[in-house]
Amino acid sequence: MFTGIVETIGVVKEFIETDTSDVGGYGSSIVITDCPLILEDAHLGDSIAVNGTCVTITDFNSKDFKVGVAPETLRRTNLGGLRPGDKVNLERAVAGHVRFGGHFVQGHIDTTATILSITPDGNALTFWFQPRDSSVLRFIVEKGFIAVDGASLTVIDVDETDRKAFSVMLISYTQEKIITSKKQVGDTVNIEVDLMGKLLEKQVTLQIENQLKGQLNSTMTGLVEKIVDSKLKELK
């Protein structure tokens, strides 16, 4: 589990494609350097978020560390496009003494997104992202949480019809702490939607299925009915 508060930015030293037992089978390895903060208490087997993707430390020394990347991870994230010299967001798994400043981030990427536009607004930057899998937009809501390359950000707007995209704003401080501000239109980012949206959808779906079967949970059903009625009134 992670908080979405990026601790430091590392640099890709090497990208190794392999089909040996080096990473437990077919897959790849990434060696990341220039991140002394991460190496202070590193251990073999530790989980670490690289651009928001939860991976495992398979080797490390005083200067850099290596993680294994499975084929599914390469298909689902932007890690497969990393090359030596590229910068990445890094965050260690949350510890019990850490203040939870972001939101619950699992490190399980839902999809990638393409940067559609970058617009200055004072000293801030507004980014519009178009997810490769547009179905995730149903979990993205205005003023809700979103993890972009592992950084916990607030959603500014969502356009589910025309652009099929959403926007966030980076203040000047955040621009200095994460890699997103250095990216260009057309670049890709990893997206993890808020877990609460997925859980809510599943619960609502289960309630509907149970209602159809005659197994009614009156408390949850009443809540859902109130939400639906309220939304219908707004639309009218």
Please confirm, yes or no, whether 35 is among the known catalytic residues: no
Please name the residue ranges forming H helices in 77-194. 172-177
* Identified catalytic residue from 8, 18, 33, 47: 47
What is the spatial distance between Cα 152 and Cα 68, in angstroms, rounded to a whole number?
24
Please confirm, yes or no, whether 111 is among the known catalytic residues: no
* N residues, the chain: 236
* Identified catalytic residue from 15, 18, 93, 108: 108
Please confirm, yes or no, whether 70 is among the known catalytic residues: yes
CA angle 195–199–205, rounded 5-degree value: 145
* Identified catalytic residue from 70, 93, 124, 221: 70
Please confirm, yes or no, whether 54 is among the known catalytic residues: yes
Please confirm, yes or no, whether 145 is among the known catalytic residues: no
* Identified catalytic residue from 119, 154, 172, 205: 154
What is the spatial distance between Cα 84 and Cα 14, in angstroms, rounded to a whole number?
5
What is the spatial distance between Cα 148 and Cα 112, in angstroms, rounded to a whole number?
9
Please confirm, yes or no, whether 139 is among the known catalytic residues: no
* Identified catalytic residue from 35, 49, 54, 147: 54
Please confirm, yes or no, whether 154 is among the known catalytic residues: yes
Phi, psi of 110 (to 5 degrees): -85, -40
* Identified catalytic residue from 8, 18, 56, 221: 56
- 3-state per-residue secondary structure call for 31-43: EEECCHHHHCCCC
* Identified catalytic residue from 2, 60, 139, 145: 2
Concatenated DSSP letters for 69-119? E-HHHHHHSSGGG--TT-EEEEEEPP-TTS---S--B-S---EEEEEEEEE
Residues designated as active site: 2, 47, 54, 56, 70, 108, 154
